[in-house]
Amino acid sequence: MVQVNIETVTMFGDIASSVRKAFDENGSVGCSLICETEDGERVIFEAAGALSNRAVAIKKLRKLVWRLKVARYVCVTRCRTDSMDTGIHPSENADCGEGVMILAIDNTSVRMCSIAEIKHGADGKETLGAWEPIEISDGWRSGFIKVRRGC
């Protein structure tokens, strides 16, 4: 059985804590990709809105990840927690749940993923629920960038 690297587990925990802190302070969290290189340096990419050509952006990001010699990364994104019509914005549908998802990938075949539901208080304040681990497949589609095998 393949084990996740301890460095990835540590990074996952660090990011989960910082996401919760940022959400508590700002009431929101952006989409970001936090990469850790083979020498331990962290590089953060923040999403600047919708991608006009997602395939091109991912291809360029893959090349950059390889050039930087990324050993592991954590992706943070806001997500839907309930299935619904994709043509309706989550804020326009009271039945749609929202959450924050974090996904960690390293050079093993094991992926770590957790979702925290965004809860709406009676006063309108949003809070982040507990991190709930979710199981994802270990297939090639579970991570959009393959990290280096040499670390």
pLDDT values of the chain reduced to their tens digit, one per residue, 151 residues: 557 788 989 999 999 999 999 999 988 888 888 999 989 899 988 875 555 566 677 788 888 888 889 889 898 988 887 654 455 555 565 566 889 999 998 877 678 899 999 998 888 888 999 999 988 765 544 455 555 443 3
Q: Which sign does the torsion angle of CA 52, 56, 61, 64 carry?
A: negative
What pLDDT is attached to residue 149? 42
pTM of the model: 0.75
Which stretches of 27-70 are DSSP H helices?
54-68
What pLDDT is attached to residue 48? 57
Cβ–Cβ < 8 Å for 127, 22: no
CA 110 – CA 107 distance, rounded (Å): 8
Cβ–Cβ < 8 Å for 96, 104: no
What pLDDT is attached to residue 17? 95
